[in-house]
Amino acid sequence: MRRSRSSGGPRVGGYRTREVATLIGLKPDMIRRVVRHGLIEPSRGNANEFRFSFQDIILLRTAKGLLDAQVSPRRTISALVKLRDRLVADGRRRPLSSMRIVAEGSTVMVREQDALWEAETGQGYFAFDVENLAGEVCTLAKRNLDVARHSDDLDSDDWYNLGLDLEETAPDKAPEAYRRAITLSPANADAHVNLGRLFQIRGDLRRAKRHYQSALEAVPEHQLALYNLGTVFDELDELDSAVSYYRQAPHIPDAHYNLARIFEVRGDELAFRRHMRRYESLVEAE
């Protein structure tokens, strides 16, 4: 989902450096050092300040955990950079924030299910609970929503960005932010798409469909709105309409996967294979 780079009002559309420093106890200089090494790419606010997402905070909390385990700042950065480069070299697309990174002394290790492997060399052990961190960030996101409710300075993109943050931390609050974004700008297609998806997840296909159509009124070739409309008709078992919308979203891999599934059921082997090949090529290119 696109994250608008617009920032605007205070504490909206991501978290400032000082907020993150307070939240996880990591010095601002270390946060900026992580950014300089390209381990995270925060967005920028109107004053060019960093705005960190929930996933950025997870990675920074990992760095803090390594430092707490007596891994030096230099080795912490070095290990994370080497791990990132190794993932890229191996063709693995998982972000560092999704890995469970632990320290055994000064050795930085990576745990994946039953596997344990070394990111760099050393000794000792540490682990942290992402769920606890998520709870802390959830509290901050809700506080940001309270601040935003009493502000007249926020534009549609500000509310959209806040909706993105709330989806990650307090999803029940996200619809309010998207509705406010749409009220300020009915042509905010991304806000319509995200709000429609939340309705679709709840099983309210009628409202989901309405918001996807509103997104297309603003941006007729909005790929995600077209694809999501296809999934609505797919759920309703109106497969001809689903096929029509999937075909209009050629850049979305799952549109081709769903087309392949439908054509397989219909016995059209040629179309099935064509769309599976396209699906696989798009996934490989991501």
* pLDDT single digits (tens) 134-143: 555 555 566 6
Residue 249 has pLDDT above 90, yes or no: yes
Q: Concatenated DSSP letters for 176-236? A: HHHHHHHHH-TT-HHHHHHHHHHHHHTT-HHHHHHHHHHHHHHSTT-HHHHHHHHHHHHHT
pLDDT value, residue 120:
47
Kindly state the tokens that stand for 96: 């560092």
Rounded to the nearest angstrom, the gap between the alpha carbon of residue 129 and the centroid of all alpha carbons in its chain is 19
Cα separation of 168 and 144, whole Å?
A: 14
Global model pTM greater than 0.95: no
Kindly state the tokens that stand for 123: 């000794």
Residue 285 has pLDDT above 90, yes or no: no
